[in-house]
Amino acid sequence: GAVVSQHPSWVICKSGTSVKIECRSLDFQATTMFWYRQFPKQSLMLMATSNEGSKATYEQGVEKDKFLINHASLTLSTLTVTSAHPEDSSFYICSAFASGTSGGQYFGAGTRLSVL
């Protein structure tokens, strides 16, 4: 099956710093990737849709200047949390839509972000 790799799996940073999370499709090309955020004991909430070669589409309430998304190639999307604050601590998960499949998405293993 399709594999999505996410890195790092866990990151701790100081308040005010920026953190970059990478999402790679290893054996397929993904023109569209998605970024979700999951707080403890809650469901996944879509943050933004990452489109290769164009601007990301952000969900209502998600600050585009704070959560920078770059999808520069068909196999890589990055999410940068800028000026991170403790309330940004969460589990960030990416997924990729594989063309030719039934419509399901393949998820990365997630990144646990802890902002001190």
Nearer to another protein, 4 or 83 (CB): 4
Nearest to 74 by CA among 116, 32, 109, 30: 30
**In the complex, least distance from residue 88 CB atom to another protein, rounded to whole angstroms:** 18
Q: What SS3 class is residue 13?
A: strand
Task: Report whether the peptide linkage leading into residue 8 is cis, meaning its omega lies within 30 degrees of zero.
Answer: yes
Task: Pick between residue 8 and residue 16 the one whose CB is nearest to another protein.
Answer: 8
The minimum distance between CB 15 and another protein, in angstroms, equals 23
What is the maximum span of the chain, computed from C-alpha positions, in angstroms? 42
Comparing CB distances to another protein, the nearer of 49 and 70 is 49
Residue closer to another protein, measured from CB, 30 or 115: 30
Q: Please check whether residue 34 is in contact with residue 105, taking contact to mean a CB–CB distance below 8 angstroms.
A: yes
Q: Are 115 and 13 in contact (CB under 8 A)?
A: yes
Residues that bind another protein (CB under 8 A): 1, 4, 6, 32, 34, 42-46, 49, 91, 93, 95, 97, 102-110, 112
Nearest distance from C-beta of residue 30 to another protein, angstroms = 11
